[in-house]
Structure 1
């Protein structure tokens, strides 16, 4: 064990602008394909933040969880439908810090939590301390708490929050404490309760809310949480009443907003949606917008970057064809289809949540069939993404796409949507499709890294897109729907507009006006950088949230 890693440590002297010590708590971090402790966008975002914090020499550490089985490994049943696998992960590149803390969980007064560190030199991030209860001396149930990210069992989920929150806060104390404790989403809320009891002031707490989705704003019975040890001690009935909302519940987001000095949403539109969502609750803090971003050094293909900087059209197109061929090797490997790099290729890839509407293209099946069988304007479509392993609706959509595409030569559904496949899809696509129901996508960062790699966004005007889009100049954007109209009506109108834009604008531009297409591609890269690079974001967090 290196003694450097059991104290607050960085391999550099922090930049003066970023000297304040910040502990960044997140349930997931997407740092590298080889460290499978993430499920989707929240993790990708946290990973980019930790990389930029390192590159900017910020005084930040990450605090997360060492998931023994990760989220899940996405494979296939015999008929190619989705099969979740849970395979043990062993990371020899993580270092045991020797820091072990105890927390009270349910009736067990002494659950051990051990901290392992991802050192900066491994993947180029600030140090990230990962917590595990799979520790000698813990009973069997305690050892399973850190098995699966977002475990389906309610008691386990509560325990995971306590481990990350209180266990994480105690680990930060062992490292010398922080000036600012930052919760990336409400999962680690117990940290605020524990630290408040230790005398840490509101001025030291900040919070990021990431989603308007109910599932992302957890709410549980206050009395039950009290029994579980959620607050770090047993609260009295009066104290519990003060913390409760909505008939005796603790809403993790509301509590975080009440305890933090300031909070942020993850796009300008999301800030408005969030302010509206939580305005009925008293004593909540101000919510400012700090739009999500991604790390350019990690996500942008270097050769593509060089030829774009030199504005060499032919060299850019040559590299793009190479990247498409690289992606199509994976298509062939997984689906036995040979895709053509010269054909316009659409990708829809992200977390498979229902509101993101992976199957919107199939809304009018006759119109869709005409689209994919047009000999004059051929297209290829790839879908990829992971539904939550217990989300039957999401899995149903995934399997519907698998079954529909099975005998179509120009359609493919890929499994294993993690960081490597995500990179290949962004580099190898011509068009990045984004189809959430409006106001429900807080930010949605995949289109940023797609744009960095010359993939044109075709999107609903939600999340980060209103801050980026110049319709028909750097992207193609669907007309906005009134989010208050019935969902089935939104879906019908959005599908009609999507077909219209693809048939009349996107596909003809690619084939009939290649110079115009090249201009749109270059404008997309120009407009996404540096505004949507995580260097801007990491700097803004210090300026507007931490300081």
Structure 2
């Protein structure tokens, strides 16, 4: 194993020489490495890339998921099928480091692989696995599936990430000043550090925390006796843990506990920072919650030819390149679905993780009106949906299948599978409009619209997450009016669904065909305005200056 200091292909920038370890359950760094599910991974991947570009003294700690999240395929009737296949990654380096940790009172061996910086232009990323011959089959399965539905397996995965990652740093003899938990999954690392330093303030000096979601499912919690029996607390007694973190009603909430053990935390947009302070502010002993808005890596995501056309002020080249990128996307669509799209037609994309609050089917809420817009030959439109539901979220899978059944006979509407980095890039480059319509205050950040804007796809969005910091209606984006907060969710869905269709029918679609110069102006304002503020270089810098300092 190469010495840690020799892993970095650069001398650290003075501003970023403090040694940081960045723990995340998922990383989306490039298409071949399938160890991510959605936005959390996309964000973490961009962070590692910008850390590399800024010459930061940061390493990533994650898990080598043998089966990834899942492979999204289709059944005979074209509905969604979930497949789990083993993955092999020959571009990873075997460090030959193997060490034990304790899970459920038993010894489990952990092996570390390394993604070297030169492979995908990231800071070094260590990936942990239990799928080795030293373990029995049950222990091997801990690192098989990202977000395994079994409760005890999920707890074991957090122990692997948190305690396994912290122990790896000690095995490597790396002096780490900051342990950054990207979401609460790595929480056991705090108990490892409590056991190591025997002092809460010593832990707080070293730990920072990013909270990513106001959704209950993203703020994991389990009973104290179960966590204790799983060895979650790294040898600390339940009584000691209760004195440190004061769990409510015998249940340990990962987010709340992280807020009590970290010295500082951040929400992932200015709005989400406010929402987080309201959510957790009444609880005792929590740390300060600031806001550092998420961002994405422009080097990885943007199209150089479009960037050049924009910089040169060459509208003709910009539009020509956009049509080329639409053609590339449409070949992928045709290959999957047998539907041939036209690069001269306005193309709208809804693509992100399928979760109920993201409302993938909002466009279809008034189906007869949707059909009227979809079948309008004077002002044609093409619509593509993509995204992966959680494999056990049958409501979300039903929404995916419902969209397929309702649009299968429309030649200009389709649902595609395999929403991973590669397809995501094609959808952003090949779309004209990027639709984002979550229930307000439920989308903490939502970074897909940033990378869409980098590629000349105009955001059509609810003013949630990062959007209020960027969007100006009719200037660089289109904003969907929101319903009164006091209404029921069903009433809001109906009103906001109608507002979305109003915008499309009366403003956006006619503008595309009747005012092409105005459309280009909005598109260029979107492209030029999204960076540097929403490029991850700004974000990676702010983590050092606002969270690690």
Establish whether TM, by shorter chain, passes 0.5.
Answer: yes
Q: Which of 194, 219, 222 matches 1:220?
A: 222
With the length of structure 2 as denominator, give the TM-score of the two structures: 0.98
User: What pairs with 1:269-280 in structure 2 (closer than 5 Å)?
Assistant: 269-280=271-282
Is contact 1:268–1:289 with CA below 8 Å preserved after alignment? yes
Please state how far the C-alpha of 1:241 moved relative to its aligned partner.
5.8
Is contact 1:65–1:146 with CA below 8 Å preserved after alignment? yes
Is contact 1:377–1:508 with CA below 8 Å preserved after alignment? yes
Give distance in 2, aligned partners of 1:314 and 1:236. Answer: 67
User: What pairs with 1:335-374 in structure 2 (closer than 5 Å)?
Assistant: 335-374=337-376
Please state how far the C-alpha of 1:177 moved relative to its aligned partner.
3.0
Gaps of 5+ in 1: none
Give distance in 2, aligned partners of 1:357 and 1:152. Answer: 23
Is contact 1:100–1:171 with CA below 8 Å preserved after alignment? no
Give distance in 2, aligned partners of 1:236 and 1:88. Answer: 37
User: Taking structure 1 as reference, are residues 184 and 118 closer, same or farther at Cα in structure 2, changes over 3 Å only?
Assistant: same
Q: Which of 58, 61, 67 matches 2:59?
A: 61
Give distance in 2, aligned partners of 1:468 and 1:505. Answer: 20
Q: Which of 200, 204, 207 matches 1:205?
A: 207
For the residue of structure 1 that corresponds to 2:73, the secondary structure is strand
With the length of structure 1 as denominator, give the TM-score of the two structures: 0.98
Is contact 2:191–2:236 with CA below 8 Å preserved after alignment? no
Give distance in 1, aligned partners of 2:51 and 2:413. Answer: 39
Give distance in 2, aligned partners of 1:242 and 1:21. Answer: 26
1:293 maps to 295
Aligned length: 544
For the residue of structure 2 that corresponds to 1:535, the secondary structure is helix
Gaps of 5+ in 2: none
Q: Which of 150, 159, 162 matches 1:165?
A: 162
Root-mean-square deviation over aligned CA pairs: 1.1
Give distance in 1, aligned partners of 2:51 and 2:334. Answer: 38
Deviations along 1:398-447, whole A, 9 cap, x unmatched?
Answer: 00011111111000100000000000000000000000000000000000
Give distance in 1, aligned partners of 2:33 and 2:540. Answer: 22
Does 2:121 correspond to 1:119?
Answer: no
Deviations along 1:117-139, whole A, 9 cap, x unmatched?
Answer: 00000000000000000122111
For the residue of structure 2 that corresponds to 1:145, the secondary structure is helix
User: What pairs with 1:36-55 in structure 2 (closer than 5 Å)?
Assistant: 36-55=34-53
Is contact 1:451–1:457 with CA below 8 Å preserved after alignment? yes
Is contact 1:241–1:248 with CA below 8 Å preserved after alignment? no
Q: Which of 318, 321, 330 matches 1:319?
A: 321
Give distance in 2, aligned partners of 1:483 and 1:49. Answer: 34
For the residue of structure 2 that corresponds to 1:181, the secondary structure is strand
1:3 maps to 2
For the residue of structure 2 that corresponds to 1:220, the secondary structure is strand
Is contact 2:70–2:83 with CA below 8 Å preserved after alignment? yes
Please state how far the C-alpha of 1:244 moved relative to its aligned partner.
4.1
User: Taking structure 1 as reference, are residues 217 and 236 closer, same or farther at Cα in structure 2, changes over 3 Å only?
Assistant: closer
User: What pairs with 1:497-516 in structure 2 (closer than 5 Å)?
Assistant: 497-516=499-518
Give distance in 1, aligned partners of 2:34 and 2:241. Answer: 39
For the residue of structure 2 that corresponds to 1:232, the secondary structure is coil
Give distance in 2, aligned partners of 1:360 and 1:203. Answer: 45
1:134 maps to 131
Give distance in 2, aligned partners of 1:425 and 1:3. Answer: 39
For the residue of structure 2 that corresponds to 1:463, the secondary structure is coil
Is contact 1:266–1:442 with CA below 8 Å preserved after alignment? yes
Give distance in 1, aligned partners of 2:360 and 2:224. Answer: 36
